[in-house]
Amino acid sequence: MDIPYTVHARPDTGLYNAKVGIWLFLASEVMLFGALFSAYILLRVGAPEGFWPRGWLNVPVGTINTLVLITSSITTVMAWASCKMNQFGRFKFFHACTILLAITFVCIKSYEYHDKFTHYEVIFKDGRIADGHIVKNDPKADSVTISGHFVADRKELFDLVGPNAHHPHEEIRIPRDQILRMERYGPWHHTYLAIYFTLTGLHALHVIGGAIVIGFLWGPGSRMWKTDRERFTNRIEVSGLFWHFVDLVWIFLFPVLYLI
């Protein structure tokens, strides 16, 4: 006996096996990201007044990334539709776009990460606080240079969208012996950044994983087109469902982390 319904739908469920499998898998993914989103809510609600940051992320960059992912969802549908319409060349084109868009997304995301990892908060021994991006940080030199500004109260750092948010940036040279603590905007810096890096990091892993699968189906995996057209189209559909889910997660991530 062979395993039935690997390619064709079972009449009473209307689904082939892999489609049931991917929907179940996505259900578990919903619970995974759902738990992280509820963690976000709990951390945000539990933060003291004025200590949950606003405007730490670059909204235009995030918007571009959102558009990149939405476009990739469209090309994914088109790729699948091309398979259905027996147009292999068009499939190749559209999924090439999907893969390029995925790479674009990851590059933009790395740029954003890089921006956070070069951003420092410096606390002086005399209590002053400076904040800005690193310009020069030679471990042998006796000073560090950042491009930023001084703040009177640490609370000012948390609100970058309010009326008093915009400070002129200047180059600040800080002698090392005056530094009490110097910390970059990594996940350890604030629970907001912790959940930001965890959520977007996990999402980026999903993007990379999805791109690898789609890349395989686009490249060596596409040989199946010649031998088993229907099954190949099913694979494109199943991987496409995963890809749409990954996009959907971002559609939730973007407003939650960037806008509100």
Residues that bind another protein (CB under 8 A): 1-5, 10-13, 15-18, 20-21, 24-25, 27-29, 31-36, 39, 42-43, 46-47, 51, 186-191, 194-195, 197-198, 202
CB of 226 to another protein, least distance (A): 22
CB of 24 to another protein, least distance (A): 5
| CA 231 – CA 219 distance, rounded (Å) | 16
Residue number, 98 or 237, with CB nearest to another protein: 237
Question: What's the burial of 53, exposed, middle or buried (CB within 10 Å: 0-12/13-18/19+)?
Answer: buried
CB of 101 to another protein, least distance (A): 26
Two tokens, residue 258: 């960037």
CB of 173 to another protein, least distance (A): 26
| CA 17 – CA 22 distance, rounded (Å) | 9
CB of 246 to another protein, least distance (A): 15
CB of 159 to another protein, least distance (A): 16
Residue number, 33 or 91, with CB nearest to another protein: 33
Residue number, 193 or 211, with CB nearest to another protein: 193
Question: What's the burial of 118, exposed, middle or buried (CB within 10 Å: 0-12/13-18/19+)?
Answer: middle
Residue number, 51 or 88, with CB nearest to another protein: 51
Residue number, 90 or 187, with CB nearest to another protein: 187
Residue number, 92 or 184, with CB nearest to another protein: 184
